[in-house]
Amino acid sequence: MKTLAAAGIIVLFPCYSGAVLAGGLSTPGQGARALGMAGAFTAVADDGSAVYYNPAGLARIDGSVVEASLATLAPRLRYTMPGGATETSSKDALAPSLFIARRFTDRLVAAFGVYAPYARDAAIPADLANGFAAERAKILRTDLSAVLSWRATDALAIGGGLVVGYSQLEQSLPAGPVLRIDDKLDGTGVGAIVGLSWRVTDRLQAGLTYRSEMSVEHAGSRTQTAFGVATRSNARAKVQYPASLGLGIAFAPAENLTLALDFDWTGWSSMDQVTTRTDLWPDATTRLSARDSRDIRVGGEYRLPAGWSVRAGYAYSEAAFPATHVIPAQPDGDGHELALGVGRKLGNWSVDFAWQYAVTRERTATANIYGFNGKYNISQNLLALTTAWHF
């Protein structure tokens, strides 16, 4: 645990801090409607959150839309030491997002969005009786996306654009019996997103979304404190955020029912190596044994009279980092998500609400390279509210 490179992961956003489960750092999704379907939205993608899920879907939105969301996350991280002592972190957070889509012609839509695709914040207090030193690890990235969506034919739409990400790190970690490291780093990077939406038949639709890697050069400071004496140095660290690919299908077996299935791949192996450089100390490089992950998401939406809709979904996501390379403030694990949602359209307005519960399978570390053997558990409740104005 010598560096952020040693803790393993770097990302942050000043107004959002939320723990996540499997898949390394990625957040559960964007927008209450999609969250109510457990994120199975790549082929559906017909509201403002299509900026994130599949920009090609924006071409199918009626008119223009402004969509604002607020989610509250209540994560619980639990680390059980080999002797049975338990250390926990439970930091609730608020997560805002905003999407605006403007139709210019019957075939062309321009849009932008602000949202946090990666986030985690954990703080575990010291437990001197059990020999546990305090840990703090806050990692977050917020993105600004600007995209165009064009309906090439009645059946095919394409979309894409640029993504500018602002990434930040704050952490305080022990690096030995008498040494503590505190990092504060931030930086920006640029990536891209492209999507396809294909209406195969009146009842069947397919979608594809690709997000490119994003390289972020972080700069800031590192402070090392030993025997009560603090020494500060400029610090730099480069993080290669992973590319991802989403494939989805949406099927309407009845006029008022939509069923969706998504398969998502994320190339976490691009983050396998992180190096932190300072002006005072030797470079510190850590290999994280990161591996690519695959998620499966299933969701459905049933439209009722008077503008009401109900939704439900389930997702399974794979861990990106093995038990040998996690720490209590940065756990990971294979996860299950259950989601429920409800929404209503009222004239030009729509309101949607979603609840998600996620839990990881308990992981036992027996050869952790940082010495944190024991059991790791994560659970999270999420509540999301979205309001949209269509014009």
User: Alpha-carbon distance 20 to 6, whole Å?
Assistant: 19
* Tokens of residue 377, six digits: 């558990």
Contact 117, 27 (CB under 8 A): yes
Burial 180-216 (b: 16+ CB within 10 A, else e): bbbbbbbbebebbbbbbbbbeeeeebbbbbbbbebeb
- What residues are paired with 249 via a beta bridge? 206, 261
User: Which amino acid, residue 213?
Assistant: E
Q: Which residues contact 218 (CB under 8 A, 6 or more apart)?
A: 10, 167, 169, 185, 186, 187, 236, 237, 238, 239
pLDDT of residue 175: 86
Contact 20, 346 (CB under 8 A): no
**pTM score:** 0.90
User: Alpha-carbon distance 177 to 334, whole Å?
Assistant: 32
C-alpha torsion angle, residues 377, 11, 314, 355 (rounded to 10)? 90
Distances (CA, A) of 218 to 18, 234, 238: 21, 11, 6
DSSP H helical ranges for the chain: 4-7, 32-35, 50-53
User: Alpha-carbon distance 32 to 10, whole Å?
Assistant: 27
* Tokens of residue 303, six digits: 């439209």
Burial 227-256 (b: 16+ CB within 10 A, else e): eeeeeeeebbbbbbbbbbebbbbbbbeeee
| CA-based torsion, 9, 367, 363, 213: positive or negative | positive
Per-position pLDDT tens, the chain of length 391: 233 233 333 332 223 333 333 444 457 789 999 999 999 999 999 999 999 999 999 999 989 999 999 999 888 999 999 999 999 988 888 889 999 999 999 999 999 999 999 888 889 999 989 999 999 988 889 999 999 999 999 999 999 999 999 999 899 999 888 899 999 999 999 999 999 999 999 999 999 999 999 999 999 999 999 998 999 999 999 989 999 999 999 999 999 999 999 999 999 998 888 889 999 999 988 778 889 999 999 999 999 999 999 999 999 999 999 999 999 988 899 999 999 999 999 999 999 999 999 999 999 999 999 899 999 999 999 999 999 999 9
| CA nearest neighbour of 176 among 371, 379, 381, 380 | 371
* Tokens of residue 191, six digits: 């990536």
pLDDT of residue 195: 98
Neighbours of 359 (CB within 10 A): 17
Q: Which residues contact 134 (CB under 8 A, 6 or more apart)?
A: 123, 124, 125, 126, 172, 174
How far is it between the farthest Cα atoms of the chain?
70
- What residues are paired with 149 via a beta bridge? 159
pLDDT of residue 26: 57
Q: Give all domains of the chain, ordered by start, each with its CATH number.
A: 10-267+293-390 (2.40.160.60)
User: Alpha-carbon distance 130 to 36, whole Å?
Assistant: 41
Distances (CA, A) of 26 to 35, 109, 146, 182, 288: 14, 27, 20, 24, 17
pLDDT of residue 330: 87
